[in-house]
Structure 1
Amino acid sequence: MDEAAKRIVMFPKMTINLEELEQLFTPIYDSYADFADALRKFENEDVLVMIRAAGRTDRTPSLAYRYRINKNALKSDYHKELQHYRARMHKAISLDGYYRGDPGLWEKDLPYLLKIDHYLKAHGFPEDQVPAPERSFELVEDEKWIDENGGKELLEKINLYPRLNIIPVSDPLMFAINPQLINESEHIHLIVENKTTYQGLLPVLKETSFATLIYGCGKAIVKSIDQFAMQYPIKAVHHFFYFGDLDWEGLSIWYSLNRRQAAQPALPFYQACLRKEAAVGKAYQHLRNAAADAFFPFFSEGQIRQMRTALHEGNYYPQEILKTKELQQIWRNSDWKNLICTKL
């Protein structure tokens, strides 16, 4: 599919006037003659269908003032191209996600897909786990491709990422262990966003029912949680609680973490925060609807109204609003095992 066709496919409306076409194609065609030839070609192929009521220009060659866009005529060729490559490529490479997508993305991804196809046909699926940069270089000769240049998303799109035995590269997970619970069949873990809260809770870890206390280090936890199974290879049923700042950013961190590793909000801590007066100073943060919609249902209707009001007014509840002794008392005395949700 050429550049002009891609621009038509991506045009957001079903009709387009001549002036809009001129703006759309200005970077492609230098002269009216070339521009007109391209439009007449699209007319002949029924990609652009003249709207007769709008009329045509008096210039030669004559063009319609307004067209209806028949995107199916273009996508038919695009789908044929996808079918061609589907028949040629390794059977494990799924191209289904491209049929509904932007043809421009397909053209951008194709060179990488061909390299992945070559690797699989030459080597099959790897048996050993290796770090992402090493696997990235093996696949496409770019060690940063998987982690930094969109490779992980592409591999997930074609349903290959889990089969390539990739060890994600991230900072090590930072946590403390309660040695008294190592042999238990069910382990619960507390992740806290900030260092101050971690340091405040650490002295009483052995007095709780928690197997570990994990320092989330803000957004870093979203990636570092992938290291948990390797750093804590204990065979048990694992449950995670999370406690972070009660602001839009804190909700967003929990939401991103929860999508990778189920971790329910540590309600006793959050509820204690809500009994305090909200702090001022987060008006610059923006509402994250998806995060809020997932987080708020853990709370009562009154608590939800309180959180929404505070956050919409630019206020927030930092973890540090709870003093060390209060944090420790909540952690020791709450009935955490009865708070565990079996489904998140």
Structure 2
Amino acid sequence: MDEVTKRIATFAKKTINLDELQQLLNPFFSSYTDFAEAVREFERHQVLVMIRASGRTIRTPALANRYRINKSAMSGDYHKELQHYRSKLHRAISLDSYYRSDPELWASDLPDLIKVDHYLKNHGFPQEAVPAPERSFELVADEKWIDEKGGRELLEKTGLYARLNILPVSDPLMLAINPRFIHESEQTHLIVENKTTYQGLLPVLKQTRFATLIYGCGKAVIKSIEQFSMQYPVRAAHRFLYFGDLDREGLSIWYSLNQKQAAEPALPFYEACLKKKAAAGKAYQQARSTAIDAFLTHFPKPEAQQIQSALQNGNYYPQEILKTNELQQIGREADWKN
């Protein structure tokens, strides 16, 4: 698919008037005659279909005043281009997702895919794990590409990310270790959103069933949880529990974390919060319905309704609603095996 066709394919609307079309394609043509000849060629191939009710211009050559963009006519060439590159690029590079995506995405990704292809053909898949910026520079000569410029997304959709031995670069995971359980084959880890809760539970960690107490630091844990296996290289079946603020933001953090690392709500803590009077405020927070719905499935119906009602009324339950002695008692005495 040539650049002119790609530009037309990016136009958001299904129809386009002549002035819009000329402005869209202006970078490619130095004269009206060249522009008109290209448009007439698109007409012959049914890429641009004249809307008859709008008529034609009186200028020579005459063009339609308005066209319907037939994107299905462009997909044939687009798919041929994908097939062409599928035969050229390294066999490990999957292009399947591009058949379902906008041609403009393919056009923007192609230069980087060619660089990755060149790396794989010359070096193969690396055996040694290195940090993302180092691997990024090796692949495309830009150390920020993987983490900050969409490189990770490109590598994931082409099936390469997991095979390139990339160490994630994020802030260290902040955790405390309970030596009682370090050799257990099944271990439970508690992640808490706020520093106050972390500090409150830390003195009694050895009296709990938790192998580690992890300070989530708000949203930071969504990224830093990637460091867990490197900071705690203990072979075991690891189960994660999460306790955060019972507000829209807290539920959103839990949901994003749960997408990366399964983490069940630490129900005894939340149940204790629900026995308190909800605090007013946080109505300004944006509701993330998918997060709320997923969170509520872990609670019996009465408690789920109580949480839903509080959130709808702009109320919330902060972690700090539980006093230190309450936190510690729950941490020591609750049944954490279920």
Alignment-derived partner of residue 233 in structure 1: 233
Superposed CA deviations along residues 234-281 of structure 1, whole A, max 9, x for unmatched, are 111110000111122111111111111110111111122222222223
**Residues of 2 paired with 1:217 and 1:278: CA distance?**
23
User: What SS does the aligned partner of 2:219 have?
Assistant: helix
| Of 20-29 and 274-283, the range deviating more from structure 2 | 20-29
Which residue in the other structure is 1:150 paired with? 150
Q: How many residues align?
A: 338
- Match of 1:141? 141
Is 1:329 aligned to residue 334 of structure 2? no
Cα pair 2:187 2:239 within 8 Å, conserved:
yes
The alpha-carbon distance between structure 1 residues 16 and 244, as it changes in their structure 2 partners (threshold 3 A), is same
Per-residue Cα deviation, 1:34-66 (whole angstroms, up to 9, x for no partner): 553343221112101223344333333322244
Q: Distance in 2 between matches of 1:137 and 1:187?
A: 38
Distance 1:36 1:29 in 2: 9
Cα shift at 1:179: 0.9
When structure 1 is superposed on structure 2, of 35-44 and 259-268 the one drifting more is: 35-44
Partner AA of 1:214 in structure 2: I
Q: Which stretch of structure 1 is more off in the superposition, 267-276 or 48-57?
A: 48-57
Partner of residue 292, structure 1: 292
1:74 CA displacement: 1.2
Conserved? CA contact 2:9–2:104, under 8 Å: no
Measured in 1, the distance between the counterparts of 2:91 and 2:27 equals 39
- Name 1:43's counterpart in structure 2: 43
Q: Select between 143-152 and 189-198 the one with higher mean Cα deviation.
A: 143-152
SS in 2 for 1:114: helix
CA distance in structure 2 between the partners assigned to 1:29 and 1:275 by the alignment: 71
TM-score, L = length of structure 2: 0.93
TM-score normalised by structure 1 residue count: 0.91
> % of aligned pairs identical?
71
Q: 1:278, 1:30 → 2: CA distance?
A: 67
Who is 2:176 aligned against?
Answer: 176
Q: What secondary structure does 2:210 align onto?
A: coil
Closer, same or farther in 2 for the Cα pair 1:193/1:7, shift >3 Å? Answer: same
Q: Structure 1 residue 266 and structure 2 residue 266: aligned? A: yes
Cα 1:25/1:215, change in 2 over 3 Å: same
Amino acid at match of 1:274: L
Does the residue aligned with 1:298 lie in a helix, a strand or coil?
coil
Q: Give the equivalent residue in structure 2 for 1:130.
A: 130
**Which sits farther off after the overlay, 112-121 or 102-111?**
102-111
Rounded Cα–Cα distance in structure 2 between residues aligned with 1:220 and 1:101:
31
Deviates further, 290-299 or 304-313: 304-313
- Quote how far apart the aligned CAs of 1:14 are: 3.7
Q: 1:33 to 1:162 in 2, by over 3 A?
A: same
- For residues 65 and 28 of structure 2, the distance between their equivalents in structure 1, rounded to whole angstroms, comes to 20
1:215 alignment partner in structure 2? 215
Q: In structure 2, give the amino acid aligned to 1:135.
A: R
The correspondence of residues 1-344 of structure 1 with structure 2, limited to 5 A, is 1-18=1-18, 21=21, 24-25=24-25, 33=33, 35-338=35-338
- What is the rounded CA distance, in whole Å, between the counterparts of 2:154 and 2:171 in structure 1? 23
Q: 1:95 to 1:205 in 2, by over 3 A?
A: same
Cα shift at 1:22: 5.2
Amino acid at match of 1:58: I
Q: 1:37 to 1:301 in 2, by over 3 A?
A: farther
Structure 2 stretches lacking a partner, 5+ long: none
CA deviations on 1:145-197 (whole Å, 9 max, x unpaired) are 11111111111011000101111011111111111112211100000011100
**Residue 312 and residue 26 in structure 1: after superposition, are their counterparts in 2 closer, same or farther (change >3 A)?**
farther
| 1:205-237 deviation line (CA, Å, top 9, x unaligned) | 111111111111111111111111111111111
CA distance in 2, matches of 1:275, 1:27: 66
The letter of the residue matching 1:106 is W
- Whether the 8 Å CA contact 2:127–2:165 is kept in 1: the answer is yes
Whether contact under 8 Å (2:241, 2:264) holds in the other structure is yes
Q: Given the superposition, is the C-alpha separation of residues 288 and 113 from structure 1 closer, same or farther in structure 2, using an over 3 Å criterion?
A: same
Provide the aligned C-alpha RMSD in A.
2.0
